[in-house]
């Protein structure tokens, strides 16, 4: 490939990376009693990972999303944008503008959406997104593992759907951890899949921590995996640091991997309850 072609490819990849960055939230929601932190570190110029966090009106529920599209490179990046858009539009059709396209602000559809429980909302979002991908894009064999949660800030209660994703963790202020294991398959594998919701509560000082498998599968220069136990150690060491959980985990990860070439994207999303 000639130098001019390489320069053109680099420019196009940079444009793709900038566009993809715009699909991530510009800022995280601010809600009394909850501290949110997030980071995404792509292994290449574009990423198959994504995260999202947004408030639902009028309830003030915080929806949290962490996803990982299969494969890597440009194809995964394209589907990352599609998965993220489908999830946001189906979880927040009012704020996202979709509801206005089917009849305005006072429709029965809107009233039904606002009356849905968080668990119903999450299972509906997972089912809709999975069916859309499986039916319209099944020939591509692309799918995504996704963790979805709906957190009520004033009570700390949350519902979640884990669609074939790495188990999220609830970390207590005392360092104890609880896994939130899959409650359904990855999104987009087959149509008409069944998703169920789990639930939990964050007490004061507790944290809900979701991540992609690139975190625990990251390798040291000697080829050793970072692993679940090192992750738990890093979480315990930083759980009491204000707004420092994600930076603390990344610092531990980088100290472990050193100069080793990253082989996968790494995404982290943490929601810590700051009041009892």
d(CA 15, CA 184): 35
How confident is the model over 16-35, as a mean pLDDT? Answer: 82
Query: Euclidean distance between the first and final Cα of the chain, in Å?
Result: 60
194-223 mean pLDDT: 96
Q: Is the distance from CB of 239 to CB of 205 less than 8 angstroms? A: yes
Q: Which residue's structure tokens are 């004033």?
A: 154
Which of the four pLDDT bands, split at 50, 70 and 90, describes residue 100? very low
Task: Give the length of the chain.
Answer: 276
Instruction: Please determine, for residue 113, whether its predicted confidence score (pLDDT) is greater than 80.
Output: no
Residue 179 has pLDDT above 80, yes or no: yes
Share of the chain above pLDDT 70, in %: 84
- Entry pTM: 0.89
What is the maximum span of the chain, computed from C-alpha positions, in angstroms? 62
- Asked if residue 95 has pLDDT above 80, the reply is no
Q: 117-158: per-residue pLDDT in tens? A: 999 999 999 999 999 999 999 999 999 999 999 999 999 999
What gap in Å lies between CA 268 and CA 107, rounded to an integer? 37
Q: Can you list the domains of the chain with their CATH numbers?
A: 34-273 (3.60.40.10)
- Pairing mode, if any, of strands 144-151 and 61-69? antiparallel
DSSP secondary structure code for residue 189 in this structure = S
Query: 249 burial class (0-12, 13-18, 19+ CB within 10 angstroms)?
Result: buried
Q: Which helix (H) or strand (E) holds 68?
A: strand 61-69
Q: Rounded to 5 degrees, what are φ and ψ at 84? A: -60, -45
Report d(CA 203, CA 166) in Å as an integer.
Answer: 23
Residue entry with tokens 């394209």: 78
Place of tokens 């009849």: 103
Beta-bridge partners for 177: 171
Predicted confidence (pLDDT) at residue 188 exceeds the cutoff of 80: yes
Q: What band does 71 get if pLDDT is binned at 50, 70 and 90?
A: confident
> What's the CA gap between 210 and 275, in Å, rounded?
20
pLDDT at 6 over 70: no
β-pairing, 177-180 vs 207-211, is unpaired
So what's the pLDDT on residue 108?
A: 43
Q: Residue 37 and residue 35: Cα distance in Å, rounded?
A: 7
């Amino acid at each position: 490939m000639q130098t001019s072609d390489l320069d053109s490819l680099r420019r196009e990849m940079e444009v793709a990376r900038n566009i993809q960055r715009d699909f991530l939230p510009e800022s995280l929601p601010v809600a009394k009693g909850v501290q949110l932190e997030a980071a995404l570190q792509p292994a290449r110029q574009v990423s198959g990972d994504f995260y999202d966090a947004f408030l639902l009106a009028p309830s003030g529920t915080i929806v949290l999303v962490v996803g990982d599209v299969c494969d890597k490179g440009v194809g995964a990046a394209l589907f990352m944008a599609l998965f993220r858009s489908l999830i946001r539009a189906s979880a927040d059709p009012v704020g996202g503008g979709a509801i206005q396209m089917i009849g305005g602000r006072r429709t029965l559809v809107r009233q039904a959406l606002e009356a849905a429980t968080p668990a119903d909302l999450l299972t509906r979002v997972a089912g809709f997104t999975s069916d859309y991908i499986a039916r319209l894009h099944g020939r591509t064999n692309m799918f995504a593992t996704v963790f979805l949660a709906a957190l009520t800030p004033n009570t700390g209660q949350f519902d979640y759907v884990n669609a074939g994703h790495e188990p999220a963790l609830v970390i207590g202020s005392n360092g104890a951890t609880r896994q939130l294991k899959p409650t359904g398959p990855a999104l987009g594998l087959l149509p008409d899949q069944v998703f169920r919701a789990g639930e939990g509560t964050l007490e004061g000082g507790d944290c809900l921590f979701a991540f992609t498998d690139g975190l625990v599968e990251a390798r040291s220069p000697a080829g050793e995996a970072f692993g679940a136990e090192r992750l738990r150690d890093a979480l315990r060491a930083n759980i009491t640091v204000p707004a420092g959980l994600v930076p603390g985990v990344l610092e531990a990860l980088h100290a472990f991997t050193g100069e080793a070439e990253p082989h996968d994207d790494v995404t982290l999303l943490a929601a810590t309850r700051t009041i009892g």
